[in-house]
Structure 1
Amino acid sequence: MYAVIKTGGKQYKVAAGEKIKVEQIAADVGQEITIDQVLAIGAGADLKVGTPLVSGASVLAKVVAHGRHDKVRIFKMRRRKHYQKRQGHRQNFTEIEISAVNA
């Protein structure tokens, strides 16, 4: 059984036992969280799509770790204007492990 969840402005297709990295969630490591924004639930050929959310559906997950992604380098330049700007960015993430998908 799998589910399509929405968290941090993004959508993820998840199943029980998977580990995914999502936008940072304010929860401690080892804490159980419930994600109730479930957009769809499927099992094989059977698919249940919400409008926009599936009522009564939830996904249980455990927070595994917090961290930061690799650095993204930003370089801006205006030719012939003597302008160059270098910048970097590292986005925070929370790694979660999906425990169960509840329909």
Structure 2
Amino acid sequence: MYAIIADGGRQYRLEKGTEFKLDRLGQKKGEKLSLDQVLLVADGDNVKVGAPTVAGAAVEVEVLDEVKDEKLIAFTYRRRKHNSKRKRGHRQRHTLVKVTNIKG
């Protein structure tokens, strides 16, 4: 059984027991959440497609940790100018969650 959910402008294909990263939710470690933006639920040959979401379907997840992505470097400069370079770093925060149950 798997489900496709929408979160933060992206779609994720999830199965029970899968770990994945969502945009930062601000939840504490060990909390349980229910994601209800379920676009599709499939169980063998039985497939339910939502328009836009499947009514009554939800994916239950448990928050494992809050993690950071690898550092991205943004470097800008102007050619032939003195002292016109800028280097910035950015690390996006994510919430690591694990799927505990799929209802639908």
Q: TM-score, length-normalised on structure 2?
A: 0.90
CA apart distance, 1:90: 0.5
Whole-Å separation in 2 of the counterparts to 1:81 and 1:42:
59
Measured in 2, the distance between the counterparts of 1:5 and 1:26 equals 19
Report deviation, 1:81.
3.7
Q: Which residue of 2 aligns with 1:86?
A: 87
Query: Cα RMSD between the aligned structures?
Result: 1.4
Which ranges in structure 2 are unaligned for 5 or more consecutive residues?
none
Unaligned runs of 5+ in 1: none
The Cα shift of 1:48 comes to 1.8
Higher mean alpha-carbon deviation, 17-26 vs 69-78, is at 69-78
Equivalent residue letter for 1:40: L
After TM superposition, give the deviation of residue 25 of structure 1 in Å: 0.8
Matches within 5 A, 1:1-103: 1-82=1-82, 83-103=84-104
Deviations 1:44-98 (A, max 9, x none): 3443211111111000000000121111111112323443211110001100000
Percent identity, aligned pairs only?
36
Report the count of equivalent residues: 103
1:2 is aligned with what amino acid?
Answer: Y
Worse-superposed segment, 5-14 or 56-65: 5-14
Please give the secondary structure, in 2, of the residue aligned with 1:61.
strand
Cα distance in 1 for partners of 2:80, 2:8 equals: 40
SS in 1 for 2:25: coil
Length-normalised TM-score, structure 1: 0.91
Structure 2 residue matching 1:55: 3-state secondary structure? coil
